[in-house]
A = this chain, B = another copy of it.
């Protein structure tokens, strides 16, 4: 297998843009990634486009606008991990020698639904029972609080950290730091979550240029190496399941660390899937950044702050940068590429050498209908 790098990264600021078409929204991200890579668009040999609700031929519609036509274009859907799954396919294709240069795009326009709950699959019996995402993560939070004594105030600190980070990111949808009191006083959504503990819905796009390592330095002096690319789906397991342990992420993390030849202690910066405040804490443990039950202590120690030992969600994460679902995975990688290149200004994680991204989702998020995609990068 050949080595693979990322040589281009671009995104548009996340937000609400109901008047823009999907293609209008996304082509500037694709153009930015291509320009960042310093390549002629005609060098792109194939493209993968991740979107959940983008509709028929999303990638073709977006890429026609930047002159990337004629090549194989594959649209990929894997819920919240759609564009990270698209990246996994691009990495596989370049590793295998099928292509040398592949474009990845992630795009979503959630404002087309006019706000409110997204149209989840009614065929999913858990959704039909009311287990939409806020409810599902709220139950996880309640269980974790019961098991480990986590308090409402400790839980709210996740949002305080990520909103503070988002305030430093010009691409973030939410750019105002908030206090723990403000988080707790915001409107209730699903106990124990208040509004500021839930990621916003919105629109956005992000793009990446994936290039075979041997060619990369023709275009940029600082290619970011892909050390691991892991895609998993949920495993059907009858009987009791501990909903505070995201099995799919635990398994994916183990596979990704093994593939990369690094461990949790080697990660300098990570973008984790903090769709709700509790999620970031559960994922600290799933990745082995701390032991079981110690996530809140890790957060309170400052270890996951921008100047900590494992900076988590310096971009603001889903909670502040936003979560236009098909765009999220690619946007996480944009942040890690910029962090490893040292381009992040006030939110720069000093000396970051190894970074990780994690996007997971699906009907029952982590069980048999889930998907989880993890990448590890190094400069």
Interface residues of A in 314-329 (CB under 8 A from B): none
Of the residues B60, B97, B98, contact of A370 by C-beta under 8 Å? B60
Q: Is A67 an interface residue (CB 8 A)?
A: yes
**The residue from B63, B75, B234, B362 contacting A77, defined by CB atoms under 8 A apart:** B75
With an 8 A cutoff between CB atoms, is A69 at the interface?
A: yes
Contact between B56 and A362, CB atoms less than 8 A apart: yes
Q: Per a CB cutoff under 8 Å, which of B60, B121, B231 touches A61?
A: B121
Per the bound structure, the CA–CA distance linking A121 and B54 in Å amounts to 9
A291 contacts the other chain (CB 8 A)? no
CB distance from A331 to the nearest CB of B (A): 19
A123 within 8 A of partner (CB)? yes
Q: Say whether A204 faces chain B, with CB atoms less than 8 Å apart.
A: no
Is B76 in contact with A363, judged by CB distance below 8 angstroms? Answer: no
Chain B residues near A58 (CB-CB < 8 A): 77
Count, chain A residues at interface, CB 8 A: 51
Stretch at the interface among A84-92, A139-147, A160-168, A332-340: A84-92
Q: B74 near A57 (CB under 8 angstroms)?
A: no
**Is the beta-carbon distance between B73 and A57 smaller than 8 angstroms?**
no
Whether, in the assembled complex, A368 has its beta carbon less than 8 Å from a beta carbon of chain B, the answer is: yes
- Beta-carbon contact of A57 and B92 below 8 Å: no
Cα A93 to Cα B63 in complex, Å, equals 24
Does A185 interact with chain B (Cβ within 8 Å)? no
For the complex formed, measure the closest distance between the CB of A264 and the CB atoms of chain B, giving whole angstroms.
22
- Those 4 A-B pairs whose CB atoms lie nearest each other, nearest first: A96-B96, A70-B235, A75-B77, A72-B231
Given A56-B362, A57-B78, 15 additional A-B pairs, CB 8 A: A21-B123, A52-B56, A56-B120, A56-B363, A57-B369, A60-B233, A60-B234, A61-B363, A70-B234, A70-B235, A71-B233, A72-B233, A75-B77, A92-B96, A92-B98
